[in-house]
């Protein structure tokens, strides 16, 4: 995109997946290095640098402002995990906090005009699969192999297909919910930009090009991103906490 | 000609899929109404009520989102063109 294109507005509606930057052939399998992977690594690097700066030379007395910020962030995640999963599960807090940060920054990156990482279905599907594997590993650990298998045939054996279906629907519903919300925001914003550009071209004066996109962005980018990130971690925690209870 | 029929059918299908938006609309309306009642009765618990309501709303929204994803596939991916 050239700088002059920036002021042209949106002149076409183009809904595609993330751009493929490079393709590798590894053992006959094509691996695509996409925009999402690049942006994910930029987010990871940025968060890592920020956290390294926040946690530099921590003290027990006369603490600095940035240490207060770091302690507040850690304490917030600890409190959330304690409330939702119970006191004994604090060891999961780092993963929950990392997932929340990654999810919200991956969605909010659209504020810089980049493509949201979470508007790529494979990204959210991989997070949902992590939750899925985690839930089933927890179930195996609490009930044992026999109890785990018996859980599929409860209350009667005829319910087996239903139980399998309900287990499979967990990652599908979690990933489609997150993807659908962010992608719908992206598409609706694109349509509105296109409509505003068309109106501006037709009447010759800039028509609402400053007001409407800001309000839409407030809902679709800020609110929706935060809600979806929060719901994703809440569902992960609730499902794992349920799996940890023996039937 | 066949392509035009498939495209038209996909467009109608996308529109029909979005009827799924009715359900979450009604359901979330009920949820928010009940949450308002709860906050009116116990204003001190508004934080917890609002948080729970948002989570419930987001979960109730999933059926609408499924319909939306189907509509999206029909409009922009056009899976049936390849079947000709």
Out of A173, A179, A231, name the one closest to residue B55 (CB): A231
pTM of this structure? 0.82
- Write the DSSP symbol of residue A63: -
Tell me the pLDDT tens digit for each residue of A26-59: 887 888 888 888 899 999 999 999 999 988 877 8
Partner-chain contact A231 B58, CB within 8 Å? yes
The residue among A12, A184, A219 with the most chain B CBs within 10 A of its CB, best to mutate, is A184
| φ, ψ at A37 (rounded to 5°) | -65, -45
Q: Does residue A172 carry a pLDDT above 70? A: yes
pLDDT band at A173 (very low <50, low <70, confident <90, very high): confident
The residue among A79, A183, A231 with the most chain B CBs within 10 A of its CB, best to mutate, is A231
Q: What is the overall mean pLDDT for chain A?
A: 84
- To 5 degrees, how large is the angle CA A46–CA A47–CA A52? 100
Which pLDDT score is estimated for A154? 78
Tell me the pLDDT tens digit for each residue of A71-99: 999 999 998 888 888 777 888 889 999 99
Partner-chain contact B55 A15, CB within 8 Å? no
Residue A175 contacts B where some CB pair is shorter than 8 Å: no
How far lies A247's CA from each of A155, A171, B52, in Å? 11, 22, 26
Q: For chain B, what's the residue count?
A: 84
ipTM above threshold 0.85: no
Rounded Cα gap, residues A145 and A122, in angstroms:
30
Q: Does residue A104 carry a pLDDT above 80? A: yes
Tell me the pLDDT tens digit for each residue of B13-69: 999 999 998 999 999 999 999 999 999 999 998 888 888 888 888 788 888 888 888
Partner-chain contact B68 A184, CB within 8 Å? yes
Q: Does residue A64 carry a pLDDT above 50? A: yes
């Amino acid at each position: 995109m050239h700088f002059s294109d920036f002021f042209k507005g949106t002149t076409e509606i183009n809904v595609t997946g993330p751009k493929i930057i490079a393709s590798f052939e590894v053992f006959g399998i094509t691996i695509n290095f996409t925009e999402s992977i690049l942006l994910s690594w930029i987010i990871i690097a940025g968060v890592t640098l920020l956290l390294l700066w926040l946690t530099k030379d921590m003290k027990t007395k006369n603490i600095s402002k940035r240490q207060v910020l770091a302690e507040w962030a850690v304490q917030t995640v600890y409190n959330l995990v304690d409330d939702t999963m119970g006191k004994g599960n604090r060891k999961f807090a780092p993963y929950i906090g990392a997932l929340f940060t990654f999810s919200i920054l991956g969605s909010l990156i659209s504020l810089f005009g980049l493509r949201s990482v979470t508007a790529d279905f494979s990204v959210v599907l991989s997070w949902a699969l992590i939750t899925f594997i985690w839930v089933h590993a927890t179930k195996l650990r609490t009930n044992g192999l026999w109890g785990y298998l018996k859980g599929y045939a409860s209350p009667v054996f005829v319910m087996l297909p239903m139980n399998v279906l309900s287990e499979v629907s967990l990652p599908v519903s979690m990933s489609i919910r997150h993807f659908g919300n962010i992608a719908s925001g992206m598409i609706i914003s694109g349509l509105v930009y296109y409509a505003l550009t068309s109106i501006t071209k037709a009447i010759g004066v800039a028509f609402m090009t400053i007001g409407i996109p800001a309000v839409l962005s407030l809902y679709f980018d800020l609110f929706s991103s935060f809600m979806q990130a929060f719901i994703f971690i809440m569902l992960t925690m609730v499902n794992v906490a349920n799996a940890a209870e023996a039937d | 000609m066949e392509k035009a029929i498939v495209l038209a059918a996909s467009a109608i299908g996308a529109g029909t899929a979005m009827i799924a938006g009715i359900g979450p609309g009604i359901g979330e309306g009920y949820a928010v109404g009940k949450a308002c009642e709860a906050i009116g009765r116990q204003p001190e618990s508004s934080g917890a009520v609002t948080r729970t309501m948002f989570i419930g709303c987001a979960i109730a929204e999933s059926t609408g989102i499924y319909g939306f994803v189907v509509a999206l596939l029909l409009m922009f991916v056009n899976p049936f063109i390849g079947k000709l």
